[in-house]
């Protein structure tokens, strides 16, 4: 009874494996533009693609980021300073890239640049705190994509947008989760619009990795700043004990994070080099088997799991 079903499932998985294992040939003439290459995923991806002979155009926020990257890359890799929140900077980077690739078009655009702070309980934050994160993580992605789309269309290339499991589950307050939800929506609309042009759009949804965004020292300092900026009424409502417990809970992030950043960059690389790239990549075992499945639970169940064990505000019920 079960044998035919197992055979069918086996054939499906075999076909899926074969389809996803097909890679493009002759990558040496293709150009890929990556944002946020100072550290983390962007830095590692730039070096990985460079070592494979792909022409990498790496955008860094700082000169120091460029210098550090160039120490570990070949002379083929080229760099540019880019602030994704500055449209003039984005426009200049797009013109710079077009002078390099000329008529070839841009094969890949990887929107990787992102920040995680300011963040914390929503009531501790201001509109500017939200805007600072959204400007980088969402509006920066939109601006860079719009400027580079003509080059991508010319090559019938790929767009890879870095979202997060926080684009499925709101794991914290502030602009971070909002921006990642926004990337999911923007990528979906863009994928449908670009389909007639032969352009493919993929979304990367990493779990917990050891990067600047998950740095516990930075997170604690951020919480302290946000707490001190909050009004006296807000601080009384939550209480000092609540603040201390929230800060202590940040220490739980460290053990959840892995330093194997290649689990994310390998997904990015597959999206750029596979004949049939996936629409979404869940990067990391926690994302694949815990966080993404949790996002499909009924809201009431997910809310219960997320609030279970949380500290209680001083004036809470």
Six-digit token pair at 215? Answer: 């740095």
Instruction: Find, among 249, 153, 238, 239, the residue nearest to 193 by Cα.
Output: 153
Tell me how far apart the alpha carbons of residues 41 and 50 are, in angstroms, rounded to a whole number.
14
Contact between 108 and 148 under an 8 Å Cβ cutoff? The reply is no
Segment holding 221, helix H or strand E: helix 216-229
Q: Residues 176, 181, 242, 281: which is the catalytic one?
A: 176
Tell me how far apart the alpha carbons of residues 150 and 159 are, in angstroms, rounded to a whole number.
12
Is-catalytic flag, 15?
A: no
Instruction: Let me know the angle formed at the C-alpha of 140 by 97 and 194, rounded to the nearest 5 degrees.
Output: 70
* Distance linking the first and last C-alpha atoms of the chain: 55
Q: What is the DSSP letter of 287?
A: I
Please state, in angstroms and as integers, the Cα–Cα distance from residue 115 to each residue in 172, 179, 213, 227, following that order.
Answer: 14, 10, 6, 19
Catalytic residue ranges: 176
């Amino acid at each position: 009874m079960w044998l035919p079903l197992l055979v069918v499932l086996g054939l499906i998985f075999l076909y899926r494996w074969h389809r996803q294992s097909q890679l493009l040939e002759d990558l040496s003439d293709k150009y890929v533009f990556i944002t946020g290459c100072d550290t983390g995923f962007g830095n590692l991806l730039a070096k990985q693609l460079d070592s494979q002979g792909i022409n990498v155009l790496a955008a860094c926020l700082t000169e120091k980021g460029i210098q550090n990257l160039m120490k570990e890359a070949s002379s083929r890799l080229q760099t540019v300073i880019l602030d994704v929140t500055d449209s003039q900077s984005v426009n200049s980077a797009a013109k710079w890239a077009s002078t390099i690739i000329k008529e070839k078009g841009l094969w890949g655009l990887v929107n990787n640049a992102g920040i995680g702070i300011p963040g914390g309980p929503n009531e501790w934050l201001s509109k500017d705190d939200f805007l600072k994160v959204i400007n980088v993580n969402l509006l920066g992605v939109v601006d860079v994509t719009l400027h580079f789309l003509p080059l991508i269309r010319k090559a019938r290339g790929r767009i890879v947008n870095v979202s997060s499991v926080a684009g499925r589950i709101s794991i914290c307050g502030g602009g971070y989760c909002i921006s990642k939800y926004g990337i999911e929506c923007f990528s979906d609309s863009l994928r449908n619009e670009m389909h007639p042009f032969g352009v493919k759009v993929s979304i990367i949804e990493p779990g917990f990795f050891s990067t600047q965004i998950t740095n516990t020292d930075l997170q604690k300092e951020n919480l302290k700043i946000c707490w001190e900026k909050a009004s006296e009424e807000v601080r009384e409502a939550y209480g000092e004990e609540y603040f201390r417990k929230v800060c202590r809970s940040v220490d739980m992030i460290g053990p959840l994070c892995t330093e194997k950043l290649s689990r994310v960059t390998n997904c990015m690389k597959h999206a750029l080099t596979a004949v049939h790239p996936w629409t979404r990549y869940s990067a990391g075992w926690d994302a694949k088997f815990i966080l993404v499945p949790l996002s499909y639970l009924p809201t009431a169940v997910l809310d219960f799991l997320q609030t279970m064990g949380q500290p209680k505000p001083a004036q809470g019920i």
